[in-house]
Each structure stands twice: as structure tokens, then as C-alpha cells.
Structure 1
Amino acid sequence: MASSDLTLLLTALAAACDAEVRRRMAEAGHPETRSVHGYVFQHLLAGPVRVTDLAGLLGMTPQGASKVAAEMERAGYVARRVDSDDQRARVIELTARGSAAIEAGRAARADVSAELLAVLDEPDAFLASLNRLSDTTGALRELLARRLRPQ
């Protein structure tokens, strides 16, 4: 089956890659991870974040961010504590298990990427084309600046 619908192809490939990465993460001892957790992990790499600030970064309500934080806390990926600057506020921070999940995700993405690129006749040309598309849309720039939000 072939298609010339770039959006359809990229969406399908992204979903397949995401599912395979999550499968490998489960094998590595992180079966609880969901796509939204990746967005939270990225915002915690620099250090603890207030739940209300996380909500704004993720484009969700404080209640929604608190729910995701509680889910991640139950899985052992983050810890919540009182903000030292404001006793009324709570911050979340990565735990050692959260850092291990990030590393497992990075390893899984690298392996999946390598396996898929090995199928191609000209992987360097393919990656160059994708990078040009990313430059045109600003997609990678937005992702790396942590401005893309979960859907």
C-alpha cells in the first residue's frame, strides 16, 4: 500500500514509532509511560517545576497537570514536594526512576531510528529531506524549545 498524503504517512509513522518505543520502554521496566509523560519529563530536565507552571507549559488546566503528576508519582517517576519559596505551592521533580525512564526512552528511540533507517537505500538523503521539511515548518525548533504540547 502506498500513499502520497505526507500528513497521513508522517502521522502513521509517528504512531508506529511511538508504540514501538513505548513497547521497548515497557520491556526495560517502564510499562506505565505514556506520551504525555515525555512532555512532562522534558520540562523537568532543568529542575523542579511548580505544578501550576507545568500546566501552562503543557497547555492544560492546573487540575489536569496535577492529575498527570499524580499518575507519574504513583509510577515513581516524579516526587511532589512543597515549594521552598511558597509553602502553598507544590513542585514536582524527577526521581532516579524518572531519569532512568528518560534514558530508556532515548535508547529505544535511537534503536528504532537505526532499524528504520537501515531499511532505506539512502538514509542520509532521507534525513536531509526530513530536516528541510522540519526547517520549513519550524516543527523541530518548536519541539526542542519545548513549545509543542501534547494533544
Structure 2
Amino acid sequence: MTATIHNYGCVLKEELPGLDMSSALTLLGDAITQQVLRALDGTGLRPGHGYVIQRLLTGPATATEIADDLGVSQQAVSKVFRELLSLGHIEVAAAGDDRRRRPMALTATGRHAVETARAARRRLDAQLREALGADRFDTTMAALRTALDALGLADRVRRRAVRPPDEA
């Protein structure tokens, strides 16, 4: 790290050499994820569950429907369904006359986890608003929305159909 030195020898600010925007956003996102997971401690939830849970906020859906929306395999979603069922966050929803169709829906426990995560994110937003000031926070949010749109993610965010990151 380098520092900007005032002419009286006082350090005004520390800079992060070579830190590009994508790295800064990745680091920030990872830190936020960790804080949200701490708020969800004891729920059994992990980051990969959130993509399926977000999709279920739009209503009950089958593994095939969610796989199509998220651009992942039906087997991957089925695995997450099994985990979420065993944790009590989802349940089989009424499917009408088609007994072969098994849509899943969030349980009260699942909805409570969503509210817990949202509360953690609101606290983080408040912390960042305090650190940045309201104007800079609002400007940053506008820039992030524009960046999501520029990268073709805005519509997927609106539909709650963001593809999970590929795991190595």
C-alpha cells in the first residue's frame, strides 16, 4: 500500500495499488456474503442455496423450471432442493391435477431466513451510507445499477434468475 503524504508529513489516505474495479467489487461482495452468512448462522444455508431461494420468492417452481431460469442443470437444482427440504426451508407445493409435477415453495422457516438476510443487508447498507455519506452512497448505487445493466444482468436480477457462479 502507498500513502499520500501531506506537506507536513501527515498521511492523508492509503491507496490500494493495482486494485481494479472488478477486484474491489469481488472483495466487497465476498465480505458482504460473509456478514450475511454470519446472520444466517444456524440455518444450514450456504451461498449456493440463495440462488434457488431467490427464484422461489417469485412463487412455487419445479427443479426443471428453476434450472431453465438459472441456466444450470436440473440435477444441480434437485440437489439444492434435497438440501433445502432437509433443512426445512422449502416444501412440496400443491401441483394441481398433475401428480408427476413437484413444485417447491418456501416454508415459514425459509421466508424467515430471507427476512434475516435482508435485515443483515439493510444494516450493511446503513453502514456504507454512513461511511460514504448519502450523496456518494446514492451515486454509487446508481453506478452499480448501470454496471449491472451494462453487463446484461439487470433483467436477470429483476426476474430473480441470476445464474450461480461456476464452482471450481
- The TM-score range, normalised by the shorter chain, is 0.7 to 0.9
Equivalent of 2:40, from 25, 37, 43? 25
Cα distance in 1, alignment partners of residues 111 and 65 from structure 2: 21
Q: Does 1 or 2 have the higher relative contact order (CA < 8 Å, sep 6+)?
A: 1
Identify which range, 99-108 or 45-54, moves more after superposition. Answer: 45-54
Q: Which amino acid aligns with 2:64?
A: T
Bigger mean CA offset, 36-45 vs 135-144: 135-144
Task: Specify which structure has the higher proportion of helix.
Answer: 1
Deviation at 1:135, TM superposition (A): 4.1
Q: Residues 58 and 160 of structure 2 are in contact (CA less than 8 Å); yes or no, is this contact kept in structure 1?
A: no
Shift of 1:109: 0.7
Q: Which has the larger radius of gyration?
A: 2
Identity %, equivalent residues: 36
What is the DSSP-based 3-state SS (H/G/I as helix, E as strand, rest coil) of the residue aligned with 1:100?
helix
TM-score (norm. length: structure 1):
0.85
Deviation digits for residues 21-54 of structure 1 (CA, Å, limit 9, x no counterpart): 111122xx52x11222222122212321112112
Q: Contact 1:21 / 1:112 at 8 angstroms: preserved in 2?
A: no
Report matched runs for 1:1-151 at 5 Å: 1=1, 2=16, 3-26=18-41, 29-30=42-43, 32-80=44-92, 83-121=95-133, 122-151=136-165
Give the Cα–Cα distance (whole angstroms) in 2 for the partners of residues 124 and 43 of structure 1: 27
Please give the TM-score of this superposition, normalised by the length of structure 2.
Answer: 0.77
d(CA) in 2 for partners of 1:45 and 1:114?
24
Gaps of 5+ in 2: 2-15
AA aligned to 1:109 is: R
RMSD of equivalent CA atoms:
2.0
CA distance in 2, matches of 1:58, 1:138: 14
Pairwise CA distance, 1:81: 5.2
| CA shift in 2, pair 1:129/1:55, >3 Å | closer
